[in-house]
Amino acid sequence: MQTPASMVMGIVFAPLGLVLVFTAAITPQWREGQARLAMSGPGSMLRSGLRTQGLGIRPGAVEALLLVRSDGLWESCLQMAPPELKHCWPVSGAYQKDPRVRLAQGLTLTSLFLCGTGIVLACIGVRCWKDLPLRGVAATGGLLMVLASLLSVTALSVYTHNLSRLGLQGHSYNRHTQLSLGPAGSLYFGWLGSCLQMLGGVALMFSLKQPKCPTCPACPELPACTCPENNNKANMDIYEVSC
């Protein structure tokens, strides 16, 4: 069987989209910001805050350091230079309890589950080892992929729209350093993965349409490949075509 192009697109794009969305979900770079901090004077109170996160700085070691803060759905990180130190921890506090973050977490997990289920159904429906695909099963898988894409897009949109306000009310780092947070790499992985999921799902849904076999001019009710006049031709191989 020659697999329809729409099915090929679906079973190629959807897994790529799933991998990208999964990568975005587990990485802590949904938002990121950096600031140069003084280790003396009014900003010295930051040193005690860094020690509470397991990042000890010797007094007088440096006059200023570059702090890079990044947050994801399940993990946050602080990176400093100099020295080159990085520390990550599970999200906690106001950020973890923020309803918009929890909404993004739930939508992302649901999206991953639906897309994975859709890929399984698509593989069963396409079944390249058979002459006839199960077009209804493949189209159902495509529908689940489209729903998964919409859920991940909703999660990304909610997070991006509220990015600079998530869990930062009264946060000491933001108040004393004026840390400006912006979108980071994980968001771009998520957007790209969602688009690929949508393309794969729509392609599989289009494969639901039954193709038409060419008919025999002498016998309109028969496919052209079984036309009686073709049976009299010598040295011709006859192939059975299933649609």
192-209 per-position pLDDT tens digit: 999 999 999 999 998 777
């794969």: which residue's tokens? 200
Q: Give 159 or 130, the one with higher predicted confidence.
A: 159
13-44 per-position pLDDT tens digit: 999 999 999 999 999 999 988 877 766 554 45
pLDDT band with cut points at 50, 70 and 90 for residue 128: low
Range of the domain at 217: 212-243
**Residues 169, 226 within the same domain:** no
**Residues 158, 114 within the same domain:** yes
* pLDDT value of residue 69: 87
**Residues 146, 37 within the same domain:** yes
Domain of 11: which CATH number?
1.20.140.150
The residue among 110, 134, 112 whose CA lies nearest residue 123 is 134
pLDDT band with cut points at 50, 70 and 90 for residue 1: low
**Residues 15, 107 within the same domain:** yes
The structural domain count of the chain equals: 2
Q: Give 214 or 232, the one with higher predicted confidence.
A: 214
Q: Which amino acid is at 239?
A: Y
**Residues 53, 127 within the same domain:** yes
CA distance 141 to 207: 11
**Residues 183, 233 within the same domain:** no
**Residues 156, 224 within the same domain:** no
Phi and psi (nearest 5°) for 130?
-120, 160
**Residues 134, 239 within the same domain:** no
Query: With 60 as the cut, is the pLDDT of residue 62 above it?
Result: no
**Residues 151, 229 within the same domain:** no
**Residues 111, 62 within the same domain:** yes
Rounded average pLDDT over 111-136: 86
**Residues 220, 192 within the same domain:** no
- Extended strands (E) in the chain: 31-38, 64-71, 75-81, 85-90, 182-183
**Residues 224, 152 within the same domain:** no
